[in-house]
Amino acid sequence: CASRSGGPYRDDVFMMQIHETIESIRTARAGCGRVAFVPTMGNLHDGHLALVREATRHADTVVASIFVNRLQFGGGEDFERYPRTFESDCRKLTDAGVAHLFAPDESVMYPHPQTYHVAPAPAHADELEGAARAGHFRGVATVVLKLFSIVQPDAAMFGRKDYQQLLMISAMARQFALPVRIVPCETVRADDGLALSSRNGYLGDSHRADAPRLFRVLTSVAQAVRAGNDRYPALERDAMAELAAAGWEPDYISVRDADELTRPTDHSRRLIVLGAARLGGTRLLDNVGI
Ligand code: PAF
Protein backbone atom coordinates (compact mmCIF):
# COMPACT_ATOMS: atom_id res chain seq x y z
CA CYS A 1 0.00 0.00 0.00
CA ALA A 2 1.30 3.46 -0.90
CA SER A 3 1.22 5.15 2.47
CA ARG A 4 3.71 7.90 3.38
CA SER A 5 5.66 5.38 5.42
CA GLY A 6 5.51 2.65 2.80
CA GLY A 7 6.28 4.35 -0.55
CA PRO A 8 6.06 4.48 -3.51
CA TYR A 9 8.69 7.16 -4.10
CA ARG A 10 10.42 8.29 -7.28
CA ASP A 11 13.58 10.37 -6.86
CA ASP A 12 12.58 10.91 -3.25
CA VAL A 13 9.24 12.38 -4.34
CA PHE A 14 6.17 10.72 -2.90
CA MET A 15 3.84 9.51 -5.65
CA MET A 16 0.10 9.31 -5.23
CA GLN A 17 -1.44 6.45 -7.17
CA ILE A 18 -4.36 7.36 -9.39
CA HIS A 19 -7.06 4.75 -9.97
CA GLU A 20 -9.63 5.10 -12.71
CA THR A 21 -11.39 1.78 -12.26
CA ILE A 22 -13.21 0.13 -9.37
CA GLU A 23 -11.03 -2.98 -9.67
CA SER A 24 -7.84 -0.95 -9.37
CA ILE A 25 -8.85 1.04 -6.25
CA ARG A 26 -10.27 -2.13 -4.65
CA THR A 27 -7.01 -4.01 -5.18
CA ALA A 28 -4.97 -1.13 -3.76
CA ARG A 29 -7.33 -0.65 -0.85
CA ALA A 30 -7.12 -4.34 0.11
CA GLY A 31 -3.46 -3.88 1.09
CA CYS A 32 -3.95 -0.66 3.02
CA GLY A 33 -5.17 -1.54 6.51
CA ARG A 34 -7.12 1.33 8.02
CA VAL A 35 -8.23 3.91 5.48
CA ALA A 36 -9.54 7.44 5.95
CA PHE A 37 -11.46 8.75 2.95
CA VAL A 38 -11.98 12.24 1.57
CA PRO A 39 -14.62 12.28 -1.19
CA THR A 40 -14.57 15.42 -3.35
CA MET A 41 -15.76 16.81 -6.65
CA GLY A 42 -12.33 18.33 -7.30
CA ASN A 43 -11.39 21.99 -7.78
CA LEU A 44 -9.68 21.65 -4.44
CA HIS A 45 -9.09 24.50 -2.00
CA ASP A 46 -7.72 24.75 1.55
CA GLY A 47 -11.02 23.44 2.95
CA HIS A 48 -10.48 20.13 1.15
CA LEU A 49 -6.85 20.03 2.26
CA ALA A 50 -8.00 20.50 5.87
CA LEU A 51 -10.16 17.38 5.36
CA VAL A 52 -7.06 15.53 4.15
CA ARG A 53 -5.06 16.75 7.17
CA GLU A 54 -7.82 15.55 9.48
CA ALA A 55 -7.92 12.23 7.60
CA THR A 56 -4.23 11.63 8.32
CA ARG A 57 -5.11 11.70 12.04
CA HIS A 58 -7.58 8.85 11.63
CA ALA A 59 -5.66 6.27 9.59
CA ASP A 60 -2.24 5.53 8.08
CA THR A 61 -3.58 5.67 4.57
CA VAL A 62 -5.64 8.46 3.07
CA VAL A 63 -7.73 7.79 -0.01
CA ALA A 64 -9.41 10.68 -1.82
CA SER A 65 -11.83 10.70 -4.72
CA ILE A 66 -12.59 13.23 -7.42
CA PHE A 67 -15.89 12.72 -9.20
CA VAL A 68 -18.30 15.41 -10.35
CA ASN A 69 -21.53 13.62 -9.65
CA ARG A 70 -24.20 14.44 -12.20
CA LEU A 71 -26.91 12.87 -9.99
CA GLN A 72 -26.71 15.64 -7.40
CA PHE A 73 -27.11 18.52 -9.89
CA GLY A 74 -30.58 19.67 -10.89
CA GLY A 75 -31.59 20.81 -14.37
CA GLY A 76 -30.29 24.35 -14.90
CA GLU A 77 -27.54 23.92 -12.27
CA ASP A 78 -23.81 24.15 -12.97
CA PHE A 79 -22.88 20.50 -13.73
CA GLU A 80 -21.39 21.31 -17.15
CA ARG A 81 -19.43 24.36 -16.02
CA TYR A 82 -18.39 22.97 -12.60
CA PRO A 83 -14.62 23.69 -12.53
CA ARG A 84 -12.50 20.65 -13.45
CA THR A 85 -8.87 21.22 -12.43
CA PHE A 86 -7.55 17.67 -12.27
CA GLU A 87 -3.81 18.28 -12.60
CA SER A 88 -3.53 20.96 -9.95
CA ASP A 89 -5.85 18.90 -7.71
CA CYS A 90 -3.46 15.94 -8.02
CA ARG A 91 -0.48 18.09 -7.04
CA LYS A 92 -2.32 19.37 -3.96
CA LEU A 93 -3.42 15.89 -2.90
CA THR A 94 0.08 14.48 -3.37
CA ASP A 95 1.61 17.29 -1.31
CA ALA A 96 -1.01 16.76 1.39
CA GLY A 97 -0.10 13.07 1.70
CA VAL A 98 -2.95 11.28 -0.10
CA ALA A 99 -1.78 7.79 -1.05
CA HIS A 100 -4.53 6.79 -3.48
CA LEU A 101 -6.88 8.85 -5.61
CA PHE A 102 -10.00 7.28 -7.07
CA ALA A 103 -10.86 9.36 -10.13
CA PRO A 104 -13.42 7.47 -12.20
CA ASP A 105 -15.22 8.91 -15.16
CA GLU A 106 -18.96 8.60 -15.57
CA SER A 107 -18.75 5.36 -17.55
CA VAL A 108 -17.08 3.76 -14.51
CA MET A 109 -19.38 5.15 -11.82
CA TYR A 110 -22.56 4.89 -13.88
CA PRO A 111 -21.95 2.30 -16.62
CA HIS A 112 -25.72 1.87 -16.76
CA PRO A 113 -28.22 4.56 -15.81
CA GLN A 114 -28.34 4.53 -12.00
CA THR A 115 -31.88 3.25 -11.38
CA TYR A 116 -31.32 2.35 -7.72
CA HIS A 117 -31.09 5.33 -5.38
CA VAL A 118 -30.84 6.12 -1.70
CA ALA A 119 -33.88 8.11 -0.54
CA PRO A 120 -32.78 10.13 2.52
CA ALA A 121 -35.41 10.89 5.17
CA PRO A 122 -37.62 13.85 4.16
CA ALA A 123 -36.45 15.71 7.29
CA HIS A 124 -33.04 15.85 5.65
CA ALA A 125 -33.86 15.58 1.95
CA ASP A 126 -36.73 18.03 1.57
CA GLU A 127 -35.79 20.86 3.92
CA LEU A 128 -33.59 23.92 3.29
CA GLU A 129 -31.08 22.85 0.59
CA GLY A 130 -33.40 19.97 -0.30
CA ALA A 131 -36.32 22.36 -0.80
CA ALA A 132 -34.18 24.67 -2.92
CA ARG A 133 -32.54 21.81 -4.88
CA ALA A 134 -35.04 18.99 -5.47
CA GLY A 135 -33.33 15.59 -5.66
CA HIS A 136 -29.94 16.96 -4.60
CA PHE A 137 -29.56 14.85 -1.45
CA ARG A 138 -30.81 11.72 -3.17
CA GLY A 139 -27.94 12.21 -5.63
CA VAL A 140 -25.43 12.88 -2.86
CA ALA A 141 -26.53 9.91 -0.74
CA THR A 142 -26.48 7.58 -3.74
CA VAL A 143 -22.96 8.49 -4.83
CA VAL A 144 -21.58 8.52 -1.28
CA LEU A 145 -23.00 5.06 -0.56
CA LYS A 146 -21.50 3.83 -3.83
CA LEU A 147 -18.12 5.42 -3.05
CA PHE A 148 -18.17 3.86 0.43
CA SER A 149 -18.97 0.49 -1.13
CA ILE A 150 -16.02 0.87 -3.54
CA VAL A 151 -13.41 2.32 -1.15
CA GLN A 152 -14.59 0.63 2.07
CA PRO A 153 -13.11 3.31 4.32
CA ASP A 154 -12.90 3.06 8.10
CA ALA A 155 -13.49 6.81 8.43
CA ALA A 156 -14.73 9.49 6.04
CA MET A 157 -14.31 13.28 6.35
CA PHE A 158 -17.09 15.78 5.66
CA GLY A 159 -16.99 19.54 6.17
CA ARG A 160 -19.42 21.39 8.44
CA LYS A 161 -19.79 24.00 5.71
CA ASP A 162 -22.26 21.60 4.02
CA TYR A 163 -23.96 20.98 7.33
CA GLN A 164 -27.13 19.39 5.98
CA GLN A 165 -25.05 17.01 3.86
CA LEU A 166 -23.00 16.10 6.94
CA LEU A 167 -26.16 15.35 8.98
CA MET A 168 -27.72 13.37 6.15
CA ILE A 169 -24.63 11.22 5.56
CA SER A 170 -24.16 10.62 9.30
CA ALA A 171 -27.81 9.47 9.52
CA MET A 172 -27.42 7.26 6.44
CA ALA A 173 -24.30 5.63 7.90
CA ARG A 174 -26.13 5.02 11.20
CA GLN A 175 -29.35 3.73 9.66
CA PHE A 176 -27.61 1.32 7.28
CA ALA A 177 -25.05 0.32 9.94
CA LEU A 178 -22.26 1.21 7.53
CA PRO A 179 -18.88 0.29 9.04
CA VAL A 180 -17.51 3.79 8.57
CA ARG A 181 -17.02 6.60 11.05
CA ILE A 182 -18.24 9.95 9.71
CA VAL A 183 -15.86 12.66 10.91
CA PRO A 184 -17.12 16.28 10.87
CA CYS A 185 -14.47 18.88 10.03
CA GLU A 186 -14.55 22.62 10.76
CA THR A 187 -15.33 25.10 8.00
CA VAL A 188 -12.22 26.80 6.63
CA ARG A 189 -12.70 30.53 6.02
CA ALA A 190 -10.82 33.22 4.12
CA ASP A 191 -9.41 36.05 6.28
CA ASP A 192 -12.59 38.09 5.70
CA GLY A 193 -14.82 35.24 6.92
CA LEU A 194 -16.04 33.82 3.60
CA ALA A 195 -16.36 30.03 3.85
CA LEU A 196 -14.11 28.40 1.25
CA SER A 197 -16.04 26.74 -1.55
CA SER A 198 -15.29 25.69 -5.11
CA ARG A 199 -18.14 27.93 -6.28
CA ASN A 200 -16.44 31.06 -4.85
CA GLY A 201 -14.38 30.98 -8.05
CA TYR A 202 -17.49 32.07 -9.96
CA LEU A 203 -17.56 35.41 -8.07
CA GLY A 204 -16.31 38.51 -9.86
CA ASP A 205 -14.22 41.04 -7.88
CA SER A 206 -17.07 43.19 -6.57
CA HIS A 207 -19.19 40.19 -5.59
CA ARG A 208 -16.17 38.54 -3.95
CA ALA A 209 -15.72 41.70 -1.84
CA ASP A 210 -19.36 41.51 -0.67
CA ALA A 211 -19.47 37.70 -0.25
CA PRO A 212 -18.56 37.63 3.51
CA ARG A 213 -21.86 39.42 4.16
CA LEU A 214 -23.67 36.05 4.40
CA PHE A 215 -21.37 34.91 7.23
CA ARG A 216 -21.76 38.29 8.99
CA VAL A 217 -25.56 38.10 8.78
CA LEU A 218 -25.59 34.51 10.10
CA THR A 219 -23.18 35.47 12.89
CA SER A 220 -25.42 38.31 14.02
CA VAL A 221 -28.49 36.01 14.08
CA ALA A 222 -26.46 33.52 16.13
CA GLN A 223 -25.39 36.26 18.54
CA ALA A 224 -28.98 37.45 18.97
CA VAL A 225 -30.16 33.91 19.75
CA ARG A 226 -27.28 33.39 22.19
CA ALA A 227 -28.31 36.64 23.89
CA GLY A 228 -31.79 35.19 24.49
CA ASN A 229 -33.81 36.34 21.47
CA ASP A 230 -36.09 33.43 20.52
CA ARG A 231 -38.25 35.27 18.00
CA TYR A 232 -36.67 33.18 15.24
CA PRO A 233 -39.06 34.07 12.38
CA ALA A 234 -38.45 37.80 12.94
CA LEU A 235 -34.68 37.29 13.14
CA GLU A 236 -34.76 35.23 9.94
CA ARG A 237 -36.96 37.79 8.13
CA ASP A 238 -34.67 40.68 9.13
CA ALA A 239 -31.56 38.78 8.04
CA MET A 240 -33.11 37.96 4.64
CA ALA A 241 -34.18 41.61 4.26
CA GLU A 242 -30.64 42.77 5.02
CA LEU A 243 -29.24 40.51 2.29
CA ALA A 244 -31.95 41.54 -0.18
CA ALA A 245 -31.27 45.22 0.52
CA ALA A 246 -27.64 44.63 -0.46
CA GLY A 247 -28.70 43.08 -3.79
CA TRP A 248 -28.58 39.41 -2.77
CA GLU A 249 -31.36 36.88 -3.48
CA PRO A 250 -31.68 34.88 -0.27
CA ASP A 251 -33.15 31.35 -0.47
CA TYR A 252 -33.39 30.92 3.29
CA ILE A 253 -31.96 31.96 6.62
CA SER A 254 -33.19 29.48 9.21
CA VAL A 255 -32.56 28.72 12.87
CA ARG A 256 -32.73 24.96 13.37
CA ASP A 257 -32.17 22.18 15.87
CA ALA A 258 -28.54 21.27 15.12
CA ASP A 259 -29.10 17.53 15.63
CA GLU A 260 -32.44 16.99 13.90
CA LEU A 261 -32.59 19.97 11.54
CA THR A 262 -36.17 20.58 12.72
CA ARG A 263 -37.34 23.99 13.89
CA PRO A 264 -36.11 24.53 17.46
CA THR A 265 -38.18 22.81 20.15
CA ASP A 266 -38.01 22.84 23.96
CA HIS A 267 -35.95 19.64 23.65
CA SER A 268 -33.35 21.06 21.30
CA ARG A 269 -29.88 20.62 22.79
CA ARG A 270 -28.01 22.72 20.24
CA LEU A 271 -29.12 25.21 17.63
CA ILE A 272 -27.57 26.33 14.37
CA VAL A 273 -28.45 29.03 11.87
CA LEU A 274 -28.12 28.06 8.23
CA GLY A 275 -28.38 30.21 5.14
CA ALA A 276 -28.16 30.14 1.38
CA ALA A 277 -28.31 33.11 -0.94
CA ARG A 278 -27.43 34.05 -4.47
CA LEU A 279 -24.97 36.84 -5.15
CA GLY A 280 -24.91 37.66 -8.85
CA GLY A 281 -25.24 34.23 -10.42
CA THR A 282 -23.44 32.44 -7.57
CA ARG A 283 -25.23 30.53 -4.84
CA LEU A 284 -23.42 30.71 -1.49
CA LEU A 285 -24.10 28.52 1.49
CA ASP A 286 -22.98 28.82 5.11
CA ASN A 287 -23.95 28.20 8.73
CA VAL A 288 -23.00 29.26 12.24
CA GLY A 289 -23.39 27.08 15.33
CA ILE A 290 -25.18 28.70 18.27
O1 PAF B 1 -19.39 17.67 -0.82
C2 PAF B 1 -19.11 17.27 -1.97
O3 PAF B 1 -18.14 17.69 -2.60
C4 PAF B 1 -20.02 16.24 -2.64
O5 PAF B 1 -21.35 16.45 -2.31
C6 PAF B 1 -19.60 14.80 -2.36
C7 PAF B 1 -19.72 14.45 -0.88
C8 PAF B 1 -18.16 14.57 -2.82
C9 PAF B 1 -20.50 13.83 -3.13
O10 PAF B 1 -20.43 14.05 -4.51
Among 19, 48, 58, 124, which one carries the catalytic annotation? Answer: 48
pLDDT given for residue 104 in this prediction: 98
Rg of the chain, C-alpha, whole Å: 20
Does 141 contact ligand 1 (Cβ within 6 A)?
Answer: no
> Above 80 in pLDDT, residue 253?
yes
Does 144 contact ligand 1 (Cβ within 6 A)?
Answer: yes
Give 226 Cα–ligand 1 centroid separation in angstroms.
31
> Above 70 in pLDDT, residue 273?
yes
**9 confidence band (pLDDT: 50, 70, 90):** low
Does 39 contact ligand 1 (Cβ within 6 A)?
Answer: yes
Active-site residue, 48 included: yes
What mean pLDDT comes out for the span 223-230? Answer: 97
Q: Tell which atom from ligand 1 comes closest to the C-alpha of 198.
A: 3
Nearest Cα residue to 39 out of 128, 109, 114, 123: 109
Describe the chain by its helix, strand, coil percentages, rounded to 5.
40, 20, 40
What mean pLDDT comes out for the span 113-137? Answer: 95
Mean pLDDT, all residues of the chain: 95
pTM: predicted TM-score of the whole model, two decimal places: 0.94
pLDDT given for residue 15 in this prediction: 85
In sequence order, which residues have a C-beta less than 8 Å from that of residue 158 and are 6 or more positions away?
51, 165, 166, 169, 182, 183, 184, 185
Mutational pocket test of ligand 1: of 43, 69, 117, the residue with most ligand atoms within 8 Å of the beta carbon = 69
What are 154-195's pLDDT values in tens digits? 999 999 999 999 999 999 999 999 999 999 999 999 999 999
pLDDT given for residue 53 in this prediction: 96
What are 25-54's pLDDT values in tens digits? 999 999 999 999 999 999 999 999 999 999
Nearest Cα residue to 172 out of 136, 132, 144: 144
pLDDT given for residue 13 in this prediction: 58
Give 191 Cα–ligand 1 centroid separation in angstroms.
24
CA dihedral over 23, 28, 33, 37, signed as positive or negative = negative
Q: Element (H or E) spanning 200, and its range?
A: none
pLDDT given for residue 8 in this prediction: 55
In sequence order, which residues have a C-beta less than 8 Å from that of residue 212 and are 6 or more positions away?
190, 192, 193, 194
> Above 70 in pLDDT, residue 258?
yes
Does 140 contact ligand 1 (Cβ within 6 A)?
Answer: yes
> Above 70 in pLDDT, residue 7?
no
Question: Cα separation of 32 and 3, whole Å?
Answer: 8
